[in-house]
């Protein structure tokens, strides 16, 4: 097998599996009422099926990034693939809620192992001149997975029992696992890993406290405040411990690398703002515009369809042009899309919605691909596993934080207009919903402007440094 073919086969495996891992974060949401009815539990209890998946992944990403750096990234990825398949099989049996939760926990451990090492494996596999295109294609799988979950879940539930939303992973996963065995490099002699177990414990508490706080912020604000206090205290504890650990989960020297830190922060902001649209768009389509769920689903597919074309093109642009400038162009497109969302008022639809959705897909691709490339190229080979796991952690953290902030701003405004506290858009007037979503999108616009300051300031400093070097040479 030639090296070029092998590279693209590895990328196909990584992308296919990343698609499954990402889609499993959202595919369950549409099945919550069905699962609750079949297992004779409340819908609130059933949402823990989503929560345990997100908490476990977030808590273990840095740990498995560290293991990948020590034991070999492909080796950890293969084990993660096997665990993900086992967890999917267990969860699909649906004997009772604790059994499903155990299956989801095993599934999430495997997902975390693969997510922590995927970016690093791509960076190890592809030379710099092809890295942008490779990460662009991987981003395509991620985009499709994040948007296709509810639609695919609804399709499965229309024809099959709910257990198949987990079992559907098994055939494709087995193909990936067999391909990994033959294509991935074999690990050398394994040595005992040096693990920062106290750091792992700190991260578990951090993940649980933040998820609990974000889940109850609208219904039990006091518990949310307590959760946030625990979260911030544990951040201080984690940093204190990592400074003294012999083999830390998070190398704090990475944070002194401005190229790495600034791009990671910009990525986090883009993830947070992206989830504003994911949460609010269905409300706008079904309640304000009164489209059916089928029509709404079709309109929501506009963004992933555009992403099919945008991500490979963004990868080529990243490889051929200045990455910082490509990223800045993507951010400008995202800002224009966000302005379009702020101005949306129910008129000239669905043309405006489709146009804004296309801009979001293009902006995300043109911003995200060079951003991922710069993050992975800003660290040493030894730190790639850690850098990749941090990048994946920002995606998961952005999902939870974006959902929390969009929910908070939207429903606080909606409650103010309604004259009483409300946590549902059903029964609210279209004018009030449009005003509330405008407030949420304006907040997202301010966050994106902050990312713009980071990106353009870094581009300016690079230009100044380049001009200074040229002047010195002359």
Burial bucket for residue 114 (CB in 10 Å: 0-12, 13-18, 19+):
buried
| Predicted confidence (pLDDT) at residue 5 exceeds the cutoff of 70 | yes
Higher-confidence position of 99 and 302? 99
- Structure confidence by residue, pLDDT tens digits, 85-106: 999 999 988 888 889 899 999 9
3-state secondary structure the chain: CCHHHHHHHHHHHHHHHHHHHHHCCCCCHHHHHHHHHHHCCCHHHHCHHHHHHHHHHHHHHHHHHHHHHHHCHHHHHHHHHHHHHHHHHHHHHCCCHHHHHHHHHHHHHHHHHHHHHHHHHHHHHCCHHHHHHHHHHHHHHHHHHHHHHHHHHHHHHHHCCCCHHHHCHHHHHHHHHHHHHHHCCCCCCCCCCCCCHHHHHHHHHHHHHHHHHHHHCCCCHHHHHHHHHHHHHHHHHHHHHHHHCCCCCCCHHHHHCHHHHHHHHHHHHHHHHHHHHHHHHHHHHHHHCCCCHHHHHHHHCHHHHHHHHHHHHHHHHHHHCCHHHHHHHHHHHHHHHHHHHHHCCCCCCCHHHHHHHHHHHHHHHHHHHHHHHHHHHCCCHHHHHHHHHHHHHHHHHHHHHHHHHHHHHHHHHHHHHHCCCCCCCCCCCHHHHHHHHHHHHHHHHHHHHHHHHHHHHHHHHHHHHHHHHHHHHC
| Predicted confidence (pLDDT) at residue 465 exceeds the cutoff of 60 | no
Residue 71 CB contacts under 8 Å (≥ 6 apart), including other chains: 187, 190, 191, 193
Q: Which residue has the tokens 């990525």?
A: 267
- Structure confidence by residue, pLDDT tens digits, 367-414: 988 888 888 888 887 777 788 888 888 888 887 788 788 888 888 888
Two structure tokens written together for 221: 């604000």
pLDDT at position 150: 63
Matching fold, domains 1-185 and 254-474? yes
pLDDT at position 462: 63
pLDDT at position 1: 62
Would you kindly state where each structural domain of the chain is located, as residue ranges? 1-185, 196-246, 254-474
Average pLDDT over the chain, rounded to an integer: 83
State how far the Cα of 323 lies from the Cα of 331, in Å rounded to an integer: 12
129 pLDDT tier (thresholds 50, 70, 90): confident
469 pLDDT tier (thresholds 50, 70, 90): low
Report whether CATH 3.40.50.10110 matches the domain 254-474.
no
pLDDT at position 155: 73
State how far the Cα of 272 lies from the Cα of 391, in Å rounded to an integer: 13
| Predicted confidence (pLDDT) at residue 466 exceeds the cutoff of 60 | no
- Structure confidence by residue, pLDDT tens digits, 216-267: 777 788 888 998 899 999 999 998 988 888 888 888 888 888 888 888 888 8
Assigned architecture for domain 1-185? Up-down Bundle (1.20)
State how far the Cα of 412 lies from the Cα of 440, in Å rounded to an integer: 10
pLDDT at position 9: 87
pLDDT at position 335: 93
Mean pLDDT computed over 8-29: 81
Mean pLDDT computed over 134-157: 75
| Predicted confidence (pLDDT) at residue 80 exceeds the cutoff of 90 | yes
Burial bucket for residue 427 (CB in 10 Å: 0-12, 13-18, 19+):
exposed
148 pLDDT tier (thresholds 50, 70, 90): low
| Predicted confidence (pLDDT) at residue 474 exceeds the cutoff of 60 | no
Two structure tokens written together for 212: 């609990």
pLDDT at position 293: 67
């Amino acid at each position: 097998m030639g090296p070029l073919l092998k590279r693209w086969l590895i990328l196909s495996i990584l992308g296919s599996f990343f698609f499954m891992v990402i889609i499993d974060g959202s595919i369950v949401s549409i099945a919550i009422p069905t699962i609750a009815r079949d297992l004779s539990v409340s819908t609130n209890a059933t949402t823990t099926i989503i929560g345990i998946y997100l908490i476990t992944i977030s808590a273990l990403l840095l740990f498995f990034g560290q293991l990948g750096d020590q034991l070999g990234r492909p080796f950890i990825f293969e084990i993660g693939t096997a665990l993900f398949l086992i967890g999917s099989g267990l969860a699909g049996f649906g004997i009772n809620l604790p059994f499903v939760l155990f299956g989801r926990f095993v599934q999430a451990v495997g997902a975390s192992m693969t997510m922590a090492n995927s970016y690093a494996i791509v960076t190890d596999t592809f030379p710099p001149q092809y890295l942008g295109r490779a990460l662009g294609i991987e981003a395509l799988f991620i985009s499709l997975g994040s948007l296709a979950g509810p639609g695919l879940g609804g399709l499965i539930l229309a024809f099959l029992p709910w257990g198949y939303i987990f079992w559907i992973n098994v055939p494709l996963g087995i193909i990936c696992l067999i391909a990994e065995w033959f294509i991935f490099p074999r690990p050398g002699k394994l040595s005992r890993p040096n693990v920062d177990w106290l750091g792992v414990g700190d991260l578990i508490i951090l993940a649980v406290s933040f998820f609990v706080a974000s889940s109850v912020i609208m219904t039990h604000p006091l518990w949310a405040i307590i959760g946030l206090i625990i979260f911030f205290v544990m951040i201080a504890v984690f940093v204190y411990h990592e400074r003294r650990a012999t083999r830390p989960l998070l190398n704090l020297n990475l944070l002194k690398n401005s190229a790495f830190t600034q791009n990671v922060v910009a990525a986090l902001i883009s993830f947070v703002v992206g989830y504003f649209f994911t949460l609010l768009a269905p409300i706008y389509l079904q309640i304000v515009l009164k489209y059916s769920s089928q029509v709404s689903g079709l309109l929501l597919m506009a963004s992933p369809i555009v992403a099919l074309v945008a991500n490979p093109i963004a990868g080529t642009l990243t490889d051929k042009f200045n990455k910082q400038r490509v990223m800045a162009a993507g951010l400008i497109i995202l800002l224009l899309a966000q302005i379009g969302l702020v101005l949306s008022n129910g008129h000239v639809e669905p043309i405006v919605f489709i146009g804004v959705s296309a801009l979001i897909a293009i902006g995300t691709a043109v911003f995200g691909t060079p951003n991922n490339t710069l993050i992975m190229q800003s660290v040493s080979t030894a730190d790639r596993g850690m850098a990749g796991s941090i990048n994946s952690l920002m995606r998961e953290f952005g999902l939870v934080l974006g959902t929390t902030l969009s929910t908070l701003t939207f429903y606080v405004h909606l409650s103010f207009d309604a004259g009483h506290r409300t946590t549902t858009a059903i029964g609210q007037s279209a004018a009030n919903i449009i005003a509330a979503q405008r407030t949420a999108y304006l907040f997202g616009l301010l966050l994106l402007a902050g990312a713009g300051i980071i990106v353009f300031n870094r581009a300016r400093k690079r230009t100044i440094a380049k001009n200074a070097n040229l002047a010195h040479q002359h």
